[in-house]
């Protein structure tokens, strides 16, 4: 730490380790660790509040979240195909994503120095966030839970589970719910919510360890390892002989085709992502959409930022569940920013168990 | 006509020409005329009311409807794949479908001799209909329109257009609506309804003649011949530069993929069928479902029989439109039961223009 000038507060300069995107990832194919690099040569000046502007904050990042949606920002799409992709990351700059941070310097009227917040930040030790990013930060009011939960159960994945489950699917007691990618950040929460609602819950995941977690830790009624099932339709039938009522779709492709064969009349499919598609230039085709007609099924996509005005309502529901141990959040914590690139790319090979978090600094 | 016994009413025996299914059509491939045959050797006894039973009627069929959904009943699916297909037709028996008929002999409490009805009947000159078919017949109250309209605009296709448009999509004035298979029985009605609602309406069809019909007869704002468009995405963009608001999906496959690329945020897709898929053992894959998430789109399948309780409400809306000439119904009439097999199979090659009807008898 270098102190320049007379006032420590004014001009402390600190190292700012960063995860930089070295080059864009082709649309087709998995991202590699080497697409990113960790630099330790950068510094940042811990400036005065008036230097971050009336819409800005300077934060110290504590936890960073690995989310499937970051994949699409690692590719630069041609304008013609980039119809609804978020802006690509900038080469040579830190990648971005959800995280938990502490405000060190504050010019923004919604926050104060020392506030803990969650929202979109940079993959680096310190970030200056201005409009519009700073406006979308959420102040953390409840600190009696692990702060890393605000990257998972109490952050975007938790809200995704809540909105898809209560606002899109609205399953009722006794109904049959199937969740693909069920041990992931969102899936595990949907499954536990469905159990609390009195549903019969089945999940699929990509290893025996994960399936055990579904059944033994999250209380799912049944689960299967999709990698060991030659016939996904048969696997679903075995678990839910009478057909599904609701489906939480995280995967797409062959799994969605099997789900479509097993829906019941009037059922609903909430779609919050398709992890099987993110690394494919051309997504796997889905062949059984005709069953949407025959079974009168509603399939609905949603993006959780549209629903952030319901965040306080969500917290009122979920915080007591967490405090009473009725919902557990399994996290997979990678230690240090250096481990970030590996943690992120392994999300797509399914190495993580539960919510993948990168620990940047101790609280 | 042979009169047997002393009373004409009791025992008139008449010829009963029939369209018989000779053999099941493979799941993959188009049906052929030769899969059916027209027999003229059968007869039917015009029995007494008590002979048709308290739940039965004997009808004289006037018009028969060619509908895409008849295709799936021409194949005998293995029980494991036949998850939501209707029962296959019976080999050696007349095929079945919607039609308009006159009740000649009536034992059913809902009807009287001489009533005109529409509903599911046999492809033959005369049919005995008992439970449950007779219960689902609808008495025709308004005969100041062509009776054949009850196979189209005032029957199942009309109700399909109405329900999908008003109950599933609910588009608003100024919104952009795209309809695939737009010159068909349902598509033409959806398009005209959308125009009456003040929408901007674009349709696709399979010939220049049909596209001319869309624009000049049905008042569509734009249309294109999908067979001459190497890039359906580009064709849609050309017609609706700002993206679609609502989509009426009759086709599936590549057209649905192009539609998914061009939806606007929060849009809706009503799915009432997928004619591109009916003759394929394995349907064409749909690759762009991820856009349901990114654009928060709701895609909903429906079957119109679930909504027949709304039929009178539908008639109140549509009859004035017909009488005032605000909605036109273009029909493609094949003359005589003999022309039925060709009319039905040509539905799938797109030869028909408008609602394909088979005229069995003069009114």
For A49-80, what is each residue's pLDDT tens digit? Answer: 777 888 899 999 999 999 988 988 898 877 65
Contact between A293 and B274 using a beta-carbon 8 Å cutoff: yes
Distance from CA of B277 to the nearest CA of A (A): 8
The parts of chain B modelled with pLDDT lower than 50 are 3-8, 82-83
Rounded to an integer, what distance in angstroms lies between the CA atom of residue A112 and that of residue B195? 54
Measure B272 CA to nearest chain A CA, in Å: 6
Nearest CA in chain A to B86: A294
Task: List residues of A whose CB lies inside 8 A of any B CB.
Answer: 83-85, 252, 256, 261, 271-274, 277, 282-303, 306
Question: What's the whole-model pTM score?
Answer: 0.77
Chain B contact residues (CB < 8 Å to A): 83-85, 252, 256, 261, 271-274, 277, 282-303, 306
Helix (H/G/I), strand (E/B), else coil: B284: coil
CA angle A73–A79–A84, rounded 5-degree value: 55
Q: Do A302 and B296 count as a contact with CB atoms less than 8 A apart? A: yes
For residue B81, the model assigns a pLDDT of: 52
Look-up of token digits 């399994």: A330
pLDDT at B5: 47
pLDDT in tens, A256-266: 888 888 888 88
Is residue A62 within a helix (H) or strand (E), and if so which, with residue range? strand A57-65
Cα distances from A240 to residues A261, A290, A302, B52, in angstroms, run 12, 21, 26, 43
Judged on CB neighbours under 10 Å (0-12, 13-18, 19+), B1 is exposed
Mutate to test the interface with B, among A84, A295, A307 (most CBs of B within 10 A): A84
- Token couple for A109: 């009227």
For A36, phi then psi, to 5°, come to -120, 160
Residue A62 CA to residue B356 CA, distance in Å, equals 67
Residue entry with tokens 């089945």 = A202
d(CA B194, CA B200): 8
What is the C-alpha to C-alpha distance for residues A42 and B100, in angstroms, rounded to an integer? 80
Contact between residue B302 and residue B163 where contact means Cβ atoms under 8 Å apart:
yes
Q: What are the angstrom distances between the C-alpha of A358 and each of A44, A124, A249?
A: 21, 11, 26
A41 to each of A16, A37, B6, how far by Cα in Å?
7, 12, 111
DSSP for residue B95: -
d(CA A235, CA A254): 12
Per-residue model confidence (pLDDT) at position A313: 93
Which residue from A286, A296, A302 is facing B285, i.e. has the nearest CB?
A: A286
Phi–psi pair at B326, nearest 5 degrees = -80, -20
CA-angle at B86, arms to B84 and B91, nearest 5°? 135
B39 vs B125: CA distance, rounded Å = 11
Could you tell me which of A271, A334, A342, A304 has the C-alpha nearest to residue A37?
A342
Please state whether beta strands A176-179 and A200-205 pair in parallel, antiparallel, or not at all (unpaired). parallel
Task: Please give, rounded to a whole number of angstroms, the shortest distance from the CA of A349 to a CA of chain B.
Answer: 19
A358 pLDDT higher than 60: yes
DSSP A208-238: HHHHHIIIIIS--SEEEEGGG-S-HHHHHHH
| CB-CB under 8 Å, B303 with A298 | no
d(C-alpha A295, C-alpha B155), whole Å? 22
CA A72 to chain centre: 13
Residue with tokens 């697409």: A35
Q: Are strands A12-15 and A2-3 parallel, antiparallel or unpaired?
A: antiparallel
Distance from B164 to chain A by nearest Cα, in Å?
11
What pLDDT shows up at residue B110?
A: 92
- pLDDT given at position B155: 94
Spatial neighbors of B97 by CB under 8 A, at least 6 apart, are: B64, B65, B66, B67, B70, B120, B121, B123
Contact assignment for B285 to A288 by CB distance below 8 Å = no
| pLDDT given at position B6 | 47
Q: Are B165 and B310 in contact (CB under 8 A)?
A: no
Are A196 and A326 in contact, with CB atoms under 8 Å apart? yes
Mean pLDDT of chain A: 86
Q: Which of B274, B283, B299 sits opposite A299 (nearest CB)?
A: B299
DSSP, residue by residue, B301-326: E--GGGGGGGHHHHHHHHHHHHHTTS
CB B100 within 8 A of CB B120: no
pLDDT digits (tens, 9 = 90+) for A298-357: 888 888 888 889 999 999 999 999 999 999 988 999 999 999 999 999 988 888 888 999
CB A316: neighbour CB atoms within 10 A? 9
pLDDT at res. A8:
47
Determine contact, residues B348/B71, Cβ cutoff 8 Å.
yes
Give the whole-angstrom CA distance, residue A158 versus residue A143: 16
Would you state the structure tokens that stand for residue B39, as one six-digit string?
Answer: 């027999």
Tell me how far apart the alpha carbons of residues B229 and B232 are, in angstroms, rounded to a whole number. Answer: 6
Work out the burial of residue A158: count CB atoms within 10 Å of its CB; fewer than 13 is exposed, 13-18 middle, 19 or more buried.
buried
Q: Which of A6, A33, A4 is nearest to A21 (CA)?
A: A33
Distance between CA atoms of residues A58 and B180, nearest Å: 52
Rg (CA), chain A: 21
Higher pLDDT, A195 or B10: A195
pLDDT reading at A4 higher than 70:
no
Do B3 and B324 form a contact (C-beta atoms < 8 A)?
A: no
Judged by DSSP in three states, A292 sits in helix
| Percent of chain A topping pLDDT 90 | 49
Burial of A163 (0-12, 13-18, 19+ CB in 10 A): buried
Write out pLDDT tens, residues B316-359.
999 999 999 999 988 999 999 999 999 999 988 888 888 999 99
What does the alpha-carbon distance between residue B351 and residue B153 come to, in Å, rounded to a whole number? Answer: 20
């Amino acid at each position: 730490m270098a102190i320049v000038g007379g006032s420590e507060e004014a001009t402390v300069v600190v190292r700012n380790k960063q995860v930089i995107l070295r080059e864009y990832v082709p649309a087709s194919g998995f991202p590699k660790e080497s697409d990113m690099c960790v630099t330790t040569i950068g510094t940042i000046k811990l400036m005065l509040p008036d230097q971050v502007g009336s819409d800005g904050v300077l934060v110290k990042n504590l936890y960073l979240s690995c989310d499937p949606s970051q994949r699409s920002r690692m590719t630069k799409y041609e304008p013609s195909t980039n119809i609804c992709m978020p802006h690509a990351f900038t080469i040579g700059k830190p990648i971005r994503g959800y995280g938990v941070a502490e405000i060190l310097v504050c010019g923004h009227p919604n926050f104060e120095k020392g506030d803990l917040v969650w929202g979109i930040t940079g993959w680096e030790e310190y970030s200056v966030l201005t409009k519009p990013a700073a406006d979308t930060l959420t102040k953390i009011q409840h600190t009696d839970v692990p702060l890393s939960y605000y990257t998972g159960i109490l952050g975007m994945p938790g809200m995704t589970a809540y909105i898809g489950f209560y606002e899109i699917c609205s399953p009722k007691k006794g109904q049959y719910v199937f969740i693909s990618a069920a041990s992931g950040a969102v899936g595990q929460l949907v499954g536990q919510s469905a159990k609390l609602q009195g549903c019969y819950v089945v999940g699929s995941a990509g290893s025996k360890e994960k399936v055990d977690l579904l059944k033994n830790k999250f209380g799912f009624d049944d689960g299967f390892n999709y990698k060991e099932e030659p016939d996904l339709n048969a696997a679903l039938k075995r678990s839910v002989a009478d057909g599904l009522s609701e489906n939480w779709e995280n995967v797409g492709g062959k799994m969605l085709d099997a789900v479509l064969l097993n829906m019941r009349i009037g059922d609903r499919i909430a779609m919050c992502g398709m992890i099987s598609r993110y690394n494919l230039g051309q997504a796997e085709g889905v062949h059984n959409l005709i069953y949407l007609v025959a079974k009168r099924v509603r399939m609905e996509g949603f993006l959780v930022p549209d629903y952030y005005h319901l965040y306080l309502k969500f917290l009122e529901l979920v915080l007591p569940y967490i405090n009473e141990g009725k919902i557990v959040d399994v996290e997979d914590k990678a230690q240090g920013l250096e481990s970030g690139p590996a943690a992120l790319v392994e999300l797509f090979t399914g190495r993580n168990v539960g919510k993948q978090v990168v620990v940047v600094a101790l609280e």
